[in-house]
Structures are given as structure tokens and as C-alpha cells.
């Protein structure tokens, strides 16, 4: 059977609907909440229609004419009223009117006897029609995000109802009428104004109860009467304690009570023998009862954002625990029993006050993620090497002074983040971390790197900036997979020739060191996109720089370079070239070959002239030549049609070329402290010019060109303003 073949009965109706809508509908496999102008076929008949965000003010004609229509979704439109003819849609089982402007429903809705799912969320409803009691097959009713202050009694007639969503309304009293819904499995009363709850004894089928975001200051023991409850959400209330009756919830598997005012928990919490998930985060717990260890089936425990200073030893009894959140507390240590959590995969103990780790931590044989950052840990125990499954070890911002030799045994480790510690030396065993991809040693006290580092064959990111390293091992060239190598802010005097073996490196940052030269082998780095070697002692750049065919950013600022290799013109992909604060007197003509360059920085040099070839830089948007020895500009500068900013202040320019009037996109022009005494007449064509700085020149304030520019909206500045 061709599923795309529509019956001869529905085809004319579909065509009429398309003509009415003035657009084609497309076939879909299923009608989802976000289905837009779609229809679903079943046995060649239209069984579903979806019109999400179609701007409807009313339900279009013909929609209700499909005799086999089962599912209709009209989400996020502007429908304010249901038509009287709505009762014709007798076959509908699922109706979604979420996100419309309905303030009431017609009685006709009660004639949709087959309706099983009705979504009226995010409307403006205050009440419901009595005819709703006729929907004897209704199993799911969503009234979230309306304006109910109390629930109509008609709800108690919906005896088949299994799911009722009443979140984000204005209920200030628990709706007792709900207690008659014997088949109710899911009840959502979140984000109302409730402060007490009725006896739950009648709701024998209730599995899920959501009371998040209400005003409960206490709960009565009657909460324990919901014997079938598996999921209870009490997040973000004002509870200071839990009733002892909580221990009667023998079936509960998930309990969320974060964002309350607990300082402690009742011993009865340990009676929840089937509990798998417990969230106690985000408030003021100062201690846990020892009975927490009785929750033998617990898989995830969230204790983050509390005031805990210690954990009970009984926590080690949670043999099935897989995820433990301890971050943002005041823990000074972890109990020895932590090592008994042999199922644990994720331990998040960051942002505490931990100074030492127990030896038993090495017994966490299934641990994969260990976060210890922002503590006061001085050293790792040797047993940390026994964590053979750990993939992520983040221990930055601690007081570590070194690493144990055993670290090399962590054969699964992929990320080792240790920045902002006091590490002075790395063990040779670091090279045994065959799976390591990311190593961050930023801001430590390292004076060198071990040659074994070159054995990290999987390493892709290596950062050792802000240390005291003077020399790099030759073996650094063996890091064949490294893509990011950051060694700035050290005392490195030379780069080994082996650096040229890093064929996959994309970013090389050795700025702020003491380099006096770059090795010729730098040209072998065919994948290099960023080369950052500013703030060193370089006097020249090797010719091989021109072989960096993928280079996009070249930063050589704050060096002592006197001459720039002509081969720099081979950098066809270069977008940014920074040579600020060097000793250049000349720019090679080949600069004009930089077809992709967007920004040139040559401030604070001794350059006397710009080459004519600069006019070939059709992509250039910013040109910085502040504080040089320019006396003139080439006519070709007028060919830089994309130029938006030029900085030429503190030179000796006497005359500007008329061709500058062609710079249609120029917005900022800094000419202060030059020797010019007039502006070219063509400047009146600079319609985009926003700022023109002329202080320290001899250009008259009342010149015709200046007046014209000011009339066009240019801010012409003749008084020193602190520079730009």
C-alpha cells in the first residue's frame, strides 16, 4: 500500500483546506507539538493535522471535516474561541491547544467522547465547562500555565484521568476534588501558592507528585500515605524539615528537595529502601544522618551548594552509587569509607576546603570523572594511580606542589587540568598517560618539562603558560597529534628545531618569552593557523615563515625586528599581521600579495614609506601605522575600498593623496600630530566617516572641506582628547 496515497474521500477536503490556507500541506510520519502545516495519513485517510505557529486567530474551516481525524495540534497560535462546530470532530483522541488565547471553552468540547489527551496549557482559562464530565475516556489533561485560582468540581468526574498537570496557576489550596481520581498516576501542582496538602490516602495509584515552587513550610505525616509514590518533587519550597512520615514512602525511587531551608534530615530518610535518586542541593544542610548509608539502591546523590563540613562514614555503604555531587560545601576532607563506593563513576568534590585526600580514594575502581578544583589540596596520595578508569581529572586552583609517580598508571586519563597550583616539577611517569588529550599546567612554578612528555602520543592540547621554563625538551616535537601548544609567559630562550615536526599544530603561542630567533623548521608547520611570538627578543623572522600556507594570524609585536622577509607575501590566508613596536624601516613590496588580510599593525616602528603594492589589499579593513616616519602616502591607498579605520597619527605626513576620497567605507581616520596643512577636496566624498582627528596638524578649523564633513555628520576633533 502506498502510504502517500490519499483516499478519494479526504482528497477533496484536503485540497479545499489548502486553497483556504493558500499553501500546500506536507505529509509527516507523526504529528508533533511543533508540526507546522503537516498532515498524517493512516489507511489512506487524514488521521492527524499539525499547525504550530501558523498565526491562526480561529480554527480554519474544513479542519473538522475529516471523518477519521484522530490527532489535532494547533499549538502556539492566537485562537481565542472554539467554534460551535467543534463538536463535529467526534473521532479526535488527542487535541493540543497549548499556547493560545483561550479564556473559556464551549460546551461542545464535551461531545468529543473519544478524547484521551487534552492539552490546554499556556492559555487564559479561569474555569472549565460542566460538559467536560462527558469525556469519560480522558486520560491526560494539561492545564499548566493558566489562571485557575480554584479547580472546578467537574474534574472529580473524570474518573479515567491518569495524568493531571496544574503547574503555574494561582491555586492557594490543595484541590480536594482531585482525591476522587482513583486512577490518577501523575499530579503536577508545581509553581502555585500551596502551603498545605490533604491526605493522600485515596490516591492509591499515584506514582508522580510534583509540588515544586510552592509555599510549603512544613509537610504533615500524611505525605507517607501515598504508598505507590515513586517520584516526589519538593524543590524550591520553604521547608525546614521533613516529617517522619517520609519514611513510609516505601516505593519511592526519586526524591527532589533542593532549594529548601533544611539544616538536617530525619533519621527516617534511611527507610526509603528503593530510592535511586536523591537531590538535597542548594540550601543549608550542615550535616547528614548516619542512616543515609541505608539507601542501598541509591545511584545518584546531590549534596551540592550546602554547608556540610563532613560526611558520615556510613556513606561508604552506598555500594550502587554512581554519581556523587559534593561541590560548593565546606568539606575539609573526605571520609576513608569513600573508597567503598566501588560503583561510583562521577565524583564532584570541587569548591570545598579539602586539604588532603584519603588513600582509599584509589579503591574507586569504576570512577571516570574526578573534579577536585578550587580546594586546598597539597598533594595527591600514591593510590590515585589506581584509578585506572578515570578519564577526567580536574584539580586546578589548589595548593599542589607536585604529582606522585603513580599518576602515570592512570591509563584511561584524557584530561588533566592542573592550572593555578604550585607544581615545581613533573614526574617522568607523566609520559605514560597514553590516552591523555588535554594537559593544562598554566600558572604553576615549573622550571622545565620532562623529556618523557614527548611520549604523550594522543595529546592535542598542551598549556604551560605562566611558569618559569627556560628550555624545552627536544622530545616536544614528538607530540604528533598536538593542535594547541601554549607556552607564553615563561623564560624560554629558544625553540628546539624539532618543533617543526608538529605537523598538526594549529596554534603556537610563545609570546612573552626571551626568544632571540625562530628555527627555520617553523616553516614545516603546514597546519598552523595562529603563530603568536610577540614580546620576545627576535631580530628577524626566518624566510621559511612564507611556507606556512594556512597561517591566519601572525603576531610579532614588541620584538626588535629590523627587516621583514619578503616571503611573508606568500601567506595567502593571513588575516591579521601584528608588527607593532619593532625596528622596521621598510615594508617589502610583497606585502601586497596578502589577499586575505583584514588588519595590519605596524605602530611604533621607523617606517619611512608605504609600498605602492599596499593598494592590492582588497580585503583590508584596518590599517595601523601610528608613530612611524611616514612623510607621504601612496596614491594606491585609495584602492582599499573596504578600509574602515586608519591610524596614521604621530608621523611626518605633509600631504594626503586625493585618492583617499575613494575610501567609501572609512569610518575612523586618525591624523593627529602630522604636518598636513589642508585636506584633499575629495574628502567630501567620505560619507561614512564618523571621526576625524586633526589635533596637532595645521589644518584650519574653518576650511571648506572640514565644514562639509561636519555637515555630513563627521565629528572633526582639533583638541587632544586622550587619543584613540
User: What CATH number has the domain bearing residue 19?
Assistant: 3.80.10.10
* CA distance linking residue 587 with residue 556, whole number of Å: 14
Last residue of a domain, one of 188, 218, 253: 188
Nearest residue to 157 via CA among 127, 187, 186, 137: 137
pLDDT of residue 394: 99
Q: Has residue 58 been placed in a domain?
A: yes
Three-class SS of residue 373? coil
Residue 202: how many other CB atoms lie within 10 Å: 17
| Segment 441-484, tens digit of pLDDT | 999 999 999 999 999 999 999 999 999 999 999 999 999 999 99
CB 39 within 8 A of CB 25: yes
Q: Has residue 329 been placed in a domain?
A: no
pLDDT of residue 519: 98
By the 10 Å C-beta count (0-12 exposed, 13-18 middle, 19+ buried), 722 is classed as exposed
* CA distance linking residue 344 with residue 324, whole number of Å: 8
pLDDT of residue 704: 96
pLDDT of residue 357: 98
Q: Kindly calculate the radius of gyration of the chain based on its CA atoms and give it in whole angstroms.
A: 36
The number of angstroms, rounded, from the C-alpha of 510 to the middle of its chain's C-alpha atoms is 29
pLDDT of residue 63: 86
- H-helix or E-strand containing 259? none
pLDDT of residue 724: 47
- β pairing state of 36-42 and 45-51: antiparallel
- Domain count for the chain, please give it: 2
* CA distance linking residue 468 with residue 444, whole number of Å: 8
Q: Has residue 54 been placed in a domain?
A: yes
- β pairing state of 438-440 and 691-693: unpaired
Give CA angle at 161 (159, 165), nearest 5°.
Answer: 135
CB 682 within 8 A of CB 708: no
Question: Residue 647: beta bridge partners?
Answer: 624, 670
| Segment 23-71, tens digit of pLDDT | 899 999 999 999 999 999 998 899 999 999 999 999 987 888 888 999 9
pLDDT of residue 13: 87
pLDDT of residue 84: 80
CB 511 within 8 A of CB 533: yes
- Which grid coordinates are listed for 560? 626588535
Helices (H) and strands (E) in the chain, counts: 2, 32
Give CA angle at 604 (603, 605), nearest 5°.
Answer: 100
* CA distance linking residue 576 with residue 186, whole number of Å: 60
Cα dihedral 540, 543, 548, 551 sign? positive
* CA distance linking residue 708 with residue 654, whole number of Å: 22
pLDDT of residue 722: 64
Last residue of a domain, one of 154, 188, 222: 188
Cα dihedral 231, 237, 242, 243 sign? negative
CB 222 within 8 A of CB 246: no
Task: Give how far Cα 480 sits from Cα of 422, 452, 461, 659, Å.
Answer: 28, 14, 11, 50
Cα dihedral 233, 239, 245, 247 sign? positive
* CA distance linking residue 439 with residue 484, whole number of Å: 10
Q: Has residue 114 been placed in a domain?
A: yes
pLDDT of residue 61: 74
pLDDT of residue 266: 92
Three-class SS of residue 546? helix
The ranges of the chain with pLDDT < 50 are 1-3, 723-724
By the 10 Å C-beta count (0-12 exposed, 13-18 middle, 19+ buried), 370 is classed as buried
Last residue of a domain, one of 164, 188, 212: 188
Q: Has residue 262 been placed in a domain?
A: no
Q: Has residue 550 been placed in a domain?
A: no
CB 623 within 8 A of CB 645: yes
> What is the four-CA torsion angle of 11, 17, 18, 19, rounded to 10 degrees?
110
Task: Give how far Cα 405 sits from Cα of 379, 409, 427, 429, 546, Å.
Answer: 12, 8, 6, 6, 43
Q: Has residue 681 been placed in a domain?
A: yes
- H-helix or E-strand containing 717? strand 715-717
pLDDT of residue 83: 87
Print the domain residue range for 722.
623-724
Nearest residue to 485 via CA among 513, 504, 512: 504
Q: Has residue 656 been placed in a domain?
A: yes
Task: Give how far Cα 267 sits from Cα of 154, 221, 263, 271, 289, Å.
Answer: 41, 14, 13, 8, 6
The number of angstroms, rounded, from the C-alpha of 617 to the middle of its chain's C-alpha atoms is 37
Amino acid at each position: 500500500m502506498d502510504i502517500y496515497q490519499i483516499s478519494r474521500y479526504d482528497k477533496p477536503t484536503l485540497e479545499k483546506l489548502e486553497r483556504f490556507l493558500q499553501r500546500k500541506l506536507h505529509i509527516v510520519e507523526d504529528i508533533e507539538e511543533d508540526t507546522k502545516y503537516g498532515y498524517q495519513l493512516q489507511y489512506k485517510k487524514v488521521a492527524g493535522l499539525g499547525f504550530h505557529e501558523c498565526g491562526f486567530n480561529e480554527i480554519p474551516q474544513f479542519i473538522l471535516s475529516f471523518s477519521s481525524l484522530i490527532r489535532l495540534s494547533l499549538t502556539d497560535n492566537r485562537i481565542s474561541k472554539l467554534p460551535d462546530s467543534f463538536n463535529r470532530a467526534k473521532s479526535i483522541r488527542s487535541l493540543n491547544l497549548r499556547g493560545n488565547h483561550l479564556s473559556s471553552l464551549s460546551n461542545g468540547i464535551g461531545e468529543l467522547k473519544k478524547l484521551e489527551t487534552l492539552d490546554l496549557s499556556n492559555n487564559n482559562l479561569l474555569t472549565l465547562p460542566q460538559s467536560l464530565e462527558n469525556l469519560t475516556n480522558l486520560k491526560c489533561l494539561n492545564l499548566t500555565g493558566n489562571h485557575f485560582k480554584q479547580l472546578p468540581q467537574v474534574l472529580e468526574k473524570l474518573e479515567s484521568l491518569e495524568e493531571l498537570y496544574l503547574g503555574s496557576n494561582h491555586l492557594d489550596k490543595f484541590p480536594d476534588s482531585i482525591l476522587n481520581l482513583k486512577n490518577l498516576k501523575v499530579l503536577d501542582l508545581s509553581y502555585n501558592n500551596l502551603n498545605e496538602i490533604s491526605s493522600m490516602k485515596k490516591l492509591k495509584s499515584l506514582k508522580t507528585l510534583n509540588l515544586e515552587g510552592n509555599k510549603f513550610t512544613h509537610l504533615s505525616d500524611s505525605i507517607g500515605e501515598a504508598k505507590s509514590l515513586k517520584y516526589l518533587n519538593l524543590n524550591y519550597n520553604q521547608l525546614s524539615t521533613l516529617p517522619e512520615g517520609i519514611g513510609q514512602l516505601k516505593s519511592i525511587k526519586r526524591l527532589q528537595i533542593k532549594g529548601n531551608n533544611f539544616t538536617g534530615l530525619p533519621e527516617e530518610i534511611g527507610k526509603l529502601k528503593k530510592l535511586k535518586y536523591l537531590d538535597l542541593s542548594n540550601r543549608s544542610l550542615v550535616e547528614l544522618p548516619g542512616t543515609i548509608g541505608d539507601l542501598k539502591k541509591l545511584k545518584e546523590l546531590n549534596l551540592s551548594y550546602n554547608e556540610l563540613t563532613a560526611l558520615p562514614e556510613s556513606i561508604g555503604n552506598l555500594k550502587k552509587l554512581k554519581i556523587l555531587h559534593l561541590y560548593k560545601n565546606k568539606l575539609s576532607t573526605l571520609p576513608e569509607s569513600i573508597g567503598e563506593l566501588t560503583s561510583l563513576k562521577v565524583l564532584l568534590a570541587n569548591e570545598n576546603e579539602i586539604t588532603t585526600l584519603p588513600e582509599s580514594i584509589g579503591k574507586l575502581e569504576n570512577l571516570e570523572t574526578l573534579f577536585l578544583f578550587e580546594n586546598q589540596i597539597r598533594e595527591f596520595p600514591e593510590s590515585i594511580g589506581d584509578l585506572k578508569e578515570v578519564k577526567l581529572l580536574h584539580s586546578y586552583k589548589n595548593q599542589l606542589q607536585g604529582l606522585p609517580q603513580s599518576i602515570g598508571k592512570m591509563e584511561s586519563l584524557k584530561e588533566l587540568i592542573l592550572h593555578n597550583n604550585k607544581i615545581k616539577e613533573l614526574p617522568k611517569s607523566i609520559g605514560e598517560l597514553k590516552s591523555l588529550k588535554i594537559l593544562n599546567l598554566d600558572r604553576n612554578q615549573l622550571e622545565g618539562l620532562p623529556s618523557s612528555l614527548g611520549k604523550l602520543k594522543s595529546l592535542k592540547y598542551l598549556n604551560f603558560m605562566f611558569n618559569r621554563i627556560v628550555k624545552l625538551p627536544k622530545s616536544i616535537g614528538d607530540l604528533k597529534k598536538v593542535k594547541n601548544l601554549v607556552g607564553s609567559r615563561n623564560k624560554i630562550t629558544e625553540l628546539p628545531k624539532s618543533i617543526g615536526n608538529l605537523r598538526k599544530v594549529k596554534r603556537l603561542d610563545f609570546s612573552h618569552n626571551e626568544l632571540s630567533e625562530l628555527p627555520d623548521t617553523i616553516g614545516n608547520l603546514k597546519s598552523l593557523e595562529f603563530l603568536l611570538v610577540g614580546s620576545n627578543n627576535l631580530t628577524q623572522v626566518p624566510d621559511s615563515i612564507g611556507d606556512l600556507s594556512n597561517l591566519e594570524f601572525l603576531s610579532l609585536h614588541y620584538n626588535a625586528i629590523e627587516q621583514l622577509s619578503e616571503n611573508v607575501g606568500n601567506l595567502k590566508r593571513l588575516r591579521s599581521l601584528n608588527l607593532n613596536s619593532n625596528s622596521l624601516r621598510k615594508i617589502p613590496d610583497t606585502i601586497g600579495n596578502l589577499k586575505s588580510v583584514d588588519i595590519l599593525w605596524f605602530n611604533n616602528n621607523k617606517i619611512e614609506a608605504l609600498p605602492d603594492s599596499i593598494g592590492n589589499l582588497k580585503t583590508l579593513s584596518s590599517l595601523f601605522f601610528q608613530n612611524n616616519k611616514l612623510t607621504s602616502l601612496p596614491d594606491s591607498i585609495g584602492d582599499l575600498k573596504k578600509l574602515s579605520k586608519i591610524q596614521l597619527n604621530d608621523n611626518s605626513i605633509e600631504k594626503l593623496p586625493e585618492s583617499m576620497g575613494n575610501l567609501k567605507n572609512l569610518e575612523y581616520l586618525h591624523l593627529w600630530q602630522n604636518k598636513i596643512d589642508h585636506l584633499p577636496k575629495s574628502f567630501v566624498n567620505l560619507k561614512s566617516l564618523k571621526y576625524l582627528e586633526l589635533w596637532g596638524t595645521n589644518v584650519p578649523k574653518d576650511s571648506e572641506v572640514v565644514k562639509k564633513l561636519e555637515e555630513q555628520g563627521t565629528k572633526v576633533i582639533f583638541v587632544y582628547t586622550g587619543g584613540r
